[in-house]
Structure 1
Amino acid sequence: MHNKILSWGILLLIINLAGCTDDFEEINTNPNRPEEVSADLLLSKVLSTAANENALEAWNRGNIAAQYTAKINFTDFDRYLWEDNGGYWNDLYGNLRDIENILAIARDEESPNPSYEGVALVMKAWTYVELTSLWGDIPFTEAIQGRAEQPILQPQYTPQAEVFAGILDDLQQANDLLQTDGAAVAGDLIFQGDLAKWKKFTNSLRVRVLMRISGKQDVSSDLQEIIANQPLMESNDDNALMEYLPSQPNTWPVHTFRVGSFDEYRLSLTNEGILRGFDDPRLFRWFRPTDRTIGTEGAVYVGMPNGLSENNASTFNGGAQNVSRCSRILYEEPNSVDAVLMQYAELQFLLAEAVQRGLVSGDAQAFYEQGVTSSFDYWEVPMPGGYLSQSGVAYDNSLETIMNQKWLSLFLNGYEAYYDHRRTGFPAAITPGPDNVNSDQVPVRYLYPDDQQTLNTANYQAAIARQGEDNINTQMWLLNN
């Protein structure tokens, strides 16, 4: 009797299961948890991630590598004990997955959207510029294909020259797709859907990329075509940046740091020397007097050398109260700085350099002076009378003069100033600190993340066999002249 009841129970269960298979998927779909995410939501995530990560990298490492700031505690990075920074690598590649999802949506045959496609290609290019500029050869051609019909879980590393070629192709395609009368774009935290500004950013980014590889390739004809025929940033109104807000969760991330973590970063002696040498009031915008003298008539600004040991850094000039901290806008005020991807000032300095080096024709002095002026305007610092005519600032047709002012304009903008110093050697004041552990060399790249050695072993080994030993002093194609 028991076995008969059990058999009938099993039979009824089978019948019930068979009866619900027709609407099984509908019943088991949570209407409050959509399986597909729209392009606008993905775009907001992509832009906020890229902008925030660039801003945090600037604060944590970029400003140190370019010697705007120096560490008074936890000085390993400042001494060139560089780790692989796999966190940034993973963040960038993670964002590229969302960018590829936007591209898939935008290229849908039933409802294509060239505007989303163009914006996504710009952000794809911007992201890969970061990756290859920091690591050299990287997964590119086969990257982000883990969910493809024929998934590639261990992508090959693409040689850096080919990566830059692919980046420029994507930017060219984006320029063609982005039309001022194109389909609307929502979720845009950078330009609020203004496609004309996206097109200007696209071409300004092309200028950045071309100048970055100008030591390896003849880029003059490409630059001339862009300058003559394509829209470029025209003022600070075209800056590619995300504005932070006065309240959480969209505030400048450093605003929520512990005060001790914030106070590890101090005015560097390199920065103090350049700013004081030009009587540059941006010093007072970015830094504050020493704690011991703040609020007094004799308030002083004191920078410390980069690359000191823990003991020498913590005791420099009598200790922390005698070294300038970063200013209120970088901590106490939640929305006084922006998350910058590229600024108009940078474009003007790039054009000035291109003319100075004979790559294009034009008025280098005019580009240069506009770059200086727009940087002061961006930081809301009045330019002193006669600033542009003083020794060291007045345009003298030298690359050093251009690059020194460009360096000042790139404060808190990712690794851009570091890339420029690595490429040009300016500012010349950037030198390894006295307690550096890298044989008095400024590093030129990051180590590949440790997990690449274990999860993508064969391709990692092929990359270092081609590029050179995986250390921070190995010259990548970009720099191997």
Structure 2
Amino acid sequence: MKKILHYSFLLTILMISSCDKGLDDLNKNKTSPTSVDPVFLLNNAIINSSFPVKTLVFDMGIVQQMVTPNGGVLAGANFNQDSRDITQLPIWAVYYQNVIKYNYDVIQNTKSNTARSNLYNMARIYQAYAFMILTDEYGDIPFTEAGTGYSNQLLLPKYDGQQGIYTKIIQELTEASAALSATGTIETSDVLYSGDIAKWKKFGYSLLLRAGMRLSKADPAKAQTTVAAAFAGGVILTNADNAYIRHDANYNQPIGGILNGSEAANFYLTKPFVDQLKNTNDPRLSAIAVRYVGATSGNGQTAAAGSTNAAQQIGMPMGKDNGTIVAQATTDGLASFYDYSQADRRRIVKTTSPVFLVSAAQTNLLLAEARFRGWVTTGTAAQYFSDGIRAHMDQMATYDANTAVAAGARDTYVTANPLVVGTELQQINTQYWIASFLNGPEAFANFRRSGFPALTPNPYGQPNNPDVPNGTFIRRLTYPTSELSVNTTNVNAAIAAQGADKLSTKIWWDKP
């Protein structure tokens, strides 16, 4: 009996030992990655930088391209109204939680890896681009300590002044663009340019040109040297080099998604925007706009009722709410406010429409101004001006085959609208406003920098608006509630340095 018990015990031990040998291997998940190629982190940064839907509420409304007469969660630029929960959503939360974080990780993971030098510098360029958007929207922002929450446990980052941020952005773009090398590893998996070094260089130098032009009033000397360096490096001059994010059925364009969904009947092209295009016989109006003639509700905005005829387009006036717009629509001879022109969601703002970050149109127009100022000495302002218009008209075909502008119509418009002595800055920057349609942050930034187009301030709520004084425009977005309640000390230091946390407070480079 004792022998039987002894053998049983030994057998049990052997079985346990035998089973234990494979447990370590069995418990390893062979399909779950233990590391991620940093190029895919860069891709996450890129695809998350498509402009969020709330840029409709502020940026595009401030520059009077699209507006809604409705309030609630849509209240913002349409009513000159501060809404801190909404000002967090357009750029702040999306960029800091995704774009800045992912770029920072790529930079940290590749800065000492000479084999991935190109990826390191691509991430530096894209990080500079993201920070430029953030500081242009808000002014002083977390910069030096941004993105370090995981690596350094800095969960409450300090804010940097915008002047210093721009100095660093210019340095990063200059160094990273120059450091890109066609002899290094080509990062073919990148979703922006598939690792094309020549195009990444042009993207970096085009951003440097943009950064230099931002300083045209705040620091003209620095602006001139920066612009000259960018031009010498080589910028985007043709649509083949445009920097844009592609969307598809799986990854929808954010603005296209909302305008083809819950807000389809809520946003309209403004009267200033439609009138600018209509009064100059601009063929882009037919490519951009649709009017659902006779519509009395959202359900009436059917494809059959839609007209893209430029002569029939009517923009919605600024300063109306969903009460006063009813009488205005009657005055304008419309069936209802649903009868005003919209950006065509079946063509230019589809769910699969691209989002342009930097385009040949924008770059040529900036060069037109730079040449006018004498900051570049090659070419003529008139040629850059007309090339910019042509580039944007040709770019329209990228949205949809039915948004293409015919070459004949393009050339007729360019011939009829030359650059005129005495009105150069107004003409150039009005065209920049048109060429930046759907790029709300860039249109908003350049409008503040240049003062053009010559728009009339949105009268809603004035003259007694505490956020936007009578006869003025929104100049920045306010800090989100999350920062005020959690990162209180640092955000209050920024407010003390920059000025009151109001929509009307000007950022550093926004000079008269």
- Write out per-residue CA displacement over residues 196-220 of structure 1, whole angstroms, 9 at most, x where no aligned residue: 1000000011000010012111121
Q: CA deviation at 1:368?
A: 0.6
Q: Distance in 1 between matches of 2:311 and 2:376?
A: 46
Which of 394, 412, 421 is 1:396 aligned to? Answer: 421
How do 1:467-478 and structure 2 match up within 5 A?
467-478=498-509
Q: In the alignment, does 2:371 pair up with 1:355?
A: yes
1:226 aligned partner: 230
Larger deviation, residues 69-78 vs 36-45: 69-78
The structure with higher relative contact order (CA 8 Å, sep 6+) is: 1
The question of whether the paired residues in 2 share the 8 Å contact of 1:43 and 1:187 is answered with: no
The question of whether the paired residues in 1 share the 8 Å contact of 2:188 and 2:196 is answered with: no
Q: Distance in 1 between matches of 2:381 and 2:310?
A: 40
Is the partner of 2:183 in helix, strand or coil?
Answer: coil
Q: CA deviation at 1:27?
A: 6.9
The question of whether the paired residues in 1 share the 8 Å contact of 2:364 and 2:385 is answered with: yes
Q: CA deviation at 1:460?
A: 1.1
Structure 1 gap segments, 5+ residues each = 1-15
Q: CA deviation at 1:222?
A: 2.8
TM-score, normalization: structure 2? 0.82
Amino acid at match of 1:82: D
Q: CA deviation at 1:158?
A: 0.6
1:184 aligned partner: 186
Q: Distance in 2 between matches of 1:118 and 1:41?
A: 15
1:422 aligned partner: 448
Larger deviation, residues 31-40 vs 295-304: 295-304
Q: Distance in 1 between matches of 2:117 and 2:154?
A: 27
Q: Cα 1:113–1:260, aligned 2, differ >3 Å: closer, same or farther?
A: closer
Q: Cα 1:55–1:277, aligned 2, differ >3 Å: closer, same or farther?
A: farther
Q: Distance in 2 between matches of 1:291 and 1:138?
A: 45
Q: Distance in 1 between matches of 2:30 and 2:310?
A: 66
How do 1:86-235 and structure 2 match up within 5 A?
86-87=88-89, 88-94=91-97, 95-109=99-113, 112-148=115-151, 150-217=152-219, 218=221, 219-228=223-232, 230-235=233-238
Is the partner of 2:440 in helix, strand or coil?
Answer: coil
Q: Distance in 2 between matches of 1:57 and 1:451?
A: 17
Q: Distance in 2 between matches of 1:39 and 1:267?
A: 41
Q: Distance in 2 between matches of 1:23 and 1:461?
A: 58
Q: Distance in 2 between matches of 1:329 and 1:232?
A: 33
Q: Distance in 2 between matches of 1:146 and 1:26?
A: 34
The root-mean-square deviation of aligned C-alpha atoms, in Å, is 2.8
The question of whether the paired residues in 2 share the 8 Å contact of 1:83 and 1:446 is answered with: no
Larger deviation, residues 133-142 vs 449-458: 449-458
2:317 aligned partner: 305
Amino acid at match of 1:104: Q
Which of 61, 65, 69 is 1:72 aligned to? Answer: 69
How do 1:374-413 and structure 2 match up within 5 A?
374-379=391-396, 380-382=404-406, 383-390=409-416, 393-396=418-421, 398-413=424-439
2:458 aligned partner: 432
Q: Distance in 2 between matches of 1:97 and 1:295?
A: 43
1:4 aligned partner: none
Q: CA deviation at 1:76?
A: 2.1
Q: CA deviation at 1:252?
A: 3.0
Structure 2 gap segments, 5+ residues each = 1-15, 296-304, 331-335, 397-403
Q: Distance in 1 between matches of 2:24 and 2:452?
A: 62
Q: Cα 1:457–1:289, aligned 2, differ >3 Å: closer, same or farther?
A: closer
Larger deviation, residues 288-297 vs 34-43: 288-297
Q: Cα 1:384–1:325, aligned 2, differ >3 Å: closer, same or farther?
A: same
- Write out per-residue CA displacement over residues 321-370 of structure 1, whole angstroms, 9 at most, x where no aligned residue: 431222144578443x3111110110001111112123332411111110
Q: Distance in 2 between matches of 1:208 and 1:91?
A: 22
Q: CA deviation at 1:176?
A: 2.5
Q: Cα 1:275–1:174, aligned 2, differ >3 Å: closer, same or farther?
A: same
- Write out per-residue CA displacement over residues 48-82 of structure 1, whole angstroms, 9 at most, x where no aligned residue: 111x2x26455454322211112132362111113
Q: CA deviation at 1:477?
A: 1.2
Q: CA deviation at 1:103?
A: 1.2
Q: Distance in 2 between matches of 1:90 and 1:28?
A: 37
Q: CA deviation at 1:302?
A: 1.0
1:10 aligned partner: none
Q: Cα 1:394–1:106, aligned 2, differ >3 Å: closer, same or farther?
A: same
Identical-residue share of aligned pairs (%): 25
Q: Cα 1:352–1:462, aligned 2, differ >3 Å: closer, same or farther?
A: same
Q: Distance in 2 between matches of 1:24 and 1:477?
A: 62
- Write out per-residue CA displacement over residues 273-297 of structure 1, whole angstroms, 9 at most, x where no aligned residue: 1111211121111111342284689
The question of whether the paired residues in 2 share the 8 Å contact of 1:79 and 1:306 is answered with: no
Q: Cα 1:130–1:23, aligned 2, differ >3 Å: closer, same or farther?
A: farther
